[in-house]
Amino acid sequence: MSTPVRYDEQYCPIARALDVLGDRWTMPILRELSFGDQRFTDMREHLPGIAPTVLTQRLRTMLDEGLVTTKPSSSPHRSIYALTERGRSTAPILRELARWGMPLLEPSHDGKTIRPAAAAAVAVRNYFDASAAEGIDERYLLRIDGEPITLSSVKGGGATRDEADLEIDASADVWIRIRQGRISLKDARQCGELHVKGPARSLRNFQRIFQVA
């Protein structure tokens, strides 16, 4: 196993950040844990290509760096991994990496797919515009490949209500194509790849708040 590259000779905050975050697989592990606490087996499933020994080493390093912590699970001798406050502070870095890399994402092929939670994060939630959301209290239910994911115009979820103001049903692939500008929400709706339930006003709000063309 190769020795991680360090930038000890450079007196630079970028270099110091890369000493902690720059190892291969560290950022994808942070991405996975940003969706919620996970077991080792969960991360192996969601990180195709990573060797168990590498995942073990990365998690051990991230524990030492204070990015990750463990919680007891119902299964003996197994732990659940979760982000610490320090780990959660990498969210803006992950968000900007996703936005920067979105145009580079090739069209889906050979059965490659993006999970619903990941699609909601990288193609919708990452583009939240707080100024556009000011004064609006709405909830949006996205059904992505059948999985329900709720977003809100208000940090923390806003007012409690039994039903969403707007429901949108589409695949993860459609959301990626919309975000890349390869299809518009209107065109996806017209060709039957995206379905909307709710008032036009809420759809307009959703598009403004999450910058969806």
| Strand pairing category for 38-39 and 68-72 | unpaired
Please state, in angstroms and rounded to a whole number, the distance separating the CA atoms of residues 174 and 179.
Answer: 9
What's the rounded mean pLDDT across residues 70-83?
A: 85
Could you tell me if 126 and 54 are in contact, meaning their C-beta atoms sit under 8 angstroms apart? no
Question: If pLDDT is split at 50, 70 and 90, which confidence band does 46 have?
Answer: very high
Chain segment 92-131, per-residue pLDDT in tens: 999 999 999 999 998 876 666 789 999 999 999 999 999 9
Q: What is the pTM of this model?
A: 0.87
Chain segment 144-186, per-residue pLDDT in tens: 999 999 999 997 666 667 799 999 999 999 999 999 999 999 9
Please state, in angstroms and rounded to a whole number, the distance separating the CA atoms of residues 95 and 46.
Answer: 19
20: exposed, middle or buried (C-beta count within 10 Å: 0-12, 13-18, 19+)? middle
